[in-house]
Structure 1
Amino acid sequence: MTFTIPLPDETAYAAARTRLDGLVKPLGALGRLEDLAAWLSAAHGSVPPRELTDVRVVVFAGDHGVSGCSAYPREVTAAMVRVFLAGKSGVSVLAGLVGAQVRVLDIAVDDDLEGVPAEVLAHKIRRGSGSIDVEDALAPGEALRAFEAGRAIADEEIDAGADLLIPGDMGIGNTAVAAALVAARLGLPADEVVGTGTGIDEAGRQRKVAVVSAALARAGAVQEPFALLTALGSACAAATAGFLVQGAVRGVPVLLDGVFSGAAAVVAREIAPGAERWWLAGHRSTEPSQAFALKALGLEPILDFGLRLGEGSGAVQAVPTLRAARAILADMGLLADLGS
């Protein structure tokens, strides 16, 4: 499987840097905002970049067999799908403040979700994923099916006008899956990547470490991306990876959220090298595996608010910062014009 990933526009990047240096301010005085402004210029191929008017969050919902590691029962996943649809979730509220749209999709919820709109179920792969400490997460072929579903979902959003994509996640047990994927891909021990997830205590974290350690031992040295997603991932992780790759293929910036999208990104980069040029890290999660994932990807989080909700909620908080970065290129005056 090969992908054609466009290169960000280096000429636009250089032009943006030149203009930033000429604005009415000391050189580099706006710090990270200047880096983001130049990055967006390269992504859009223009100085200033286009306005980020159509921001879309897609929440990939699914249950995981290792949900016993969480402080909450797996039934919460299905209940939360209905909360998203009612517009009452954390990301729904926060996205509303920045004018972003939120779409939730059942990829692998262990429930029939009777009565929800058909479009929520249109990309469902299975009911729940296997418990990775004792069995593969997915059946043969399901990782590829989920990956292709994620690509199709990205195409749907981009074709509808999206100029910034944000992958969200909802699924009890997903931080354990993320930790396992990152540990396997980067060769790390479970104890270094496992965090407290939904708020478990240290005894609970140690039980989670044992689960992830068992999963890593069972999977062995598997590294091929789809084999890794099959053994240690989930349908949601595979769909998120496809979503990230297709955003890059289409040349549309993707703003990663927290630990789950970070883990999917580490695998997605192996599937489509170079796709990471189109990704930004919206925020720093409190989960340790995200820090390892972002370091491997060469990404620096825009915000650090100590968030661990998931859903895309951290990434949407970075949207105003990206808009501010664009604004300095679009609206600030030039030193050369002073006194004229």
Structure 2
Amino acid sequence: MKLLETTLNQISPSSSEWREKAAQRIETLIMPHWALGRSLDLAVDVAGITRSITPDISRRACIVMGADHGVAAEGVTPCPQEVTPLMMAAFTKGGAAINVLADHIGAEMVIVDVGVKGDLSELYNEGKIIDFSIAQGTANFAKVPAMSREQAVASIEAGIEVVNNIKDKFDLFVLGEMGIGNTTASSAIVSLLCGLSADIVTGCGAGLDEPGRQHKAQVIRAALALHQPDPHDALDVLAKVGGFEIGAMAGVMLAAAALHKPVILDGFICTAAALIAQSLNPDVADTLIAGHSSVERGHIAALEKLDKNPILNLELRLGEGSGAAMALPIVDAGVKVMKEMATFADLGVSLS
């Protein structure tokens, strides 16, 4: 708990001073007022986060947090849990979508096990997966709390430690996850923290039909009625209906905020984690850039709670950090324009 408390105390809002400096520079560039639209808004966001109008975000890590969910036993997903360790292994071999996209954006993969149900010890020993495993998946929150409060703290602190261990190597983090059953946990979190019914925020996840989606929403409703998580206590919410990878992603966001380093959010699960982080310290939201809006029903509500306007809307639903990776080149473009485009003064033109 000490690491979490220390990190929370180190977080401050985006710098209004540096945002203003960025806006002033952009106004001098040789183009009509804000002619490149939201890409320039993103450049201002990065300036406020990094405290610089010449930020270097070239060193980027794609962090993928993996864990399993006991609630999968309730038939809330068409995929067997065996998929999680198989995909974690696939990430180490370079053939998954996020590997291809990470290569495209020049990001280094950082793969972390915080609670996968399976034996990944060989991959730990080979240094291909970082071992922060808390348990072999969460408990089935349809029957008992997903985890203890102590485990909830441990999952968040795992994410903080991952970032603190690599903070000198990277300027920006692309964030994603892998975990069968995690849209169920995310829907429960979004339902609570956004004050919306489970049916409104529960989607089809990895491919449920409509009866399956309705069953999933009913499982969530029943679990929330059973455990009565306190929506004003993020650790209580995470412990009762969350996931280890959700907590760990929240930890990444908190650590990055304390270091003034941007985080590009992926989809629904990542955004649910952002709600946990925001609940722990509202200023963390300033450090987050929403990569995209997915097809999951609750994603828009979660983004609105964070006051985030997503960069892309491509009907994505993969996870892994894929949407965040696809959005990053637009962030790069805005920052590069802010840093490198000529000004009217460079051309000897006075705007006064």
Shorter-chain TM-score tier: over 0.9
Describe how 1:201-280 pairs up with structure 2 within 5 A.
201-223=209-231, 224-280=233-289
Q: Which residue of 1 aligns with 2:132?
A: 123
Q: Distance in 2 between matches of 1:155 and 1:61?
A: 19
Alpha-carbon distance in 1 for matches of 2:229, 2:268? 22
Q: 1:80 offset after TM fit, Å?
A: 0.5
TM-score by length of 2: 0.92
Is the aligned partner of 1:88 residue 2:134?
no
* Aligned residue identity for 1:32: R
Q: Which residue of 1 aligns with 2:202?
A: 194
| Paired residue type of 2:177 | D
Matched, 1:335 2:344: yes
> Quick one: distance in 2 between partners of 1:18 and 1:114?
52
Q: Is the 8 A contact 1:56 1:157 kept in 2?
A: no
Report the CA distance between 1:26 and its aligned residue.
1.2
Distance 1:58 1:234 in 2: 16
Q: Distance in 2 between matches of 1:48 and 1:271?
A: 30
Match of 2:60 in 1: 55
SS at match of 1:137: coil
Q: CA deviation at 1:21?
A: 1.6
Q: Equivalents in 1 of 2:170, 2:150: separation in Å?
A: 29
Q: Distance in 2 between matches of 1:12 and 1:38?
A: 8
- Residue number among 295, 300, 303 corresponding to 1:291 in the alignment: 300
* Cα distance change of structure 1 residues 9 and 88 upon mapping to structure 2, 3 Å threshold: same
Contact 1:78 1:113 in 2 (8 A): yes
Q: Name the aligned partner's letter for residue 6 of structure 1.
A: S
1:339 to 1:311, Cα distance in 2 relative to 1, 3 A? same
Work out the CA distance in 2 between the residues paired with 1:156 and 1:287.
Answer: 33
1:25-45 CA-partner distances (Å, limit 9, x unpaired): 111211101111111122222
Residues 8-35 of structure 1 show CA distances to partners (whole Å, capped at 9, x for unaligned) of: 3322211211121221211121110111
86-95 or 7-16: which moved more? 7-16
- Compute the displacement of 1:114 (Å): 4.3
TM-aligned CA deviation for residue 140 of structure 1: 4.1
- Cα distance in 1 for partners of 2:119, 2:148 equals 19
Amino acid at match of 1:61: G
Unaligned runs of 5+ in 2: none
Q: Write the mapping of 1:143-154 to structure 2, written as runs, cut at 5 A.
A: 143-154=152-163
- Cα 1:150/1:339, change in 2 over 3 Å: closer
How far does residue 121 in structure 1 lie from its aligned partner after superposition? 5.0
Using the alignment, how far apart are the partners of 1:127 and 1:212 within structure 2? 21
Root mean square deviation, CA, Å: 1.5
Q: Any idea what SS the aligned residue of 2:70 has?
A: coil
Letter aligned with residue 120 of structure 2 = L
Q: Is 1:8 matched up with 2:11?
A: no
Counterpart secondary structure, 2:66: strand
Of 25, 29, 42, 1:36 maps to: 42
Residues 134 and 214, structure 1, Cα contact 8 Å, conserved in 2:
no
Change (3 A) 1:33 1:220: same
What residue ranges of structure 1 are gaps of 5+ in the alignment?
Answer: none
Asked whether the equivalents of residues 168 and 312 of structure 1 are also in contact (C-alpha less than 8 Å), the reply is: yes
- Matched letter for residue 207 of structure 2: G
Q: TM-score, normalised by structure 1?
A: 0.95
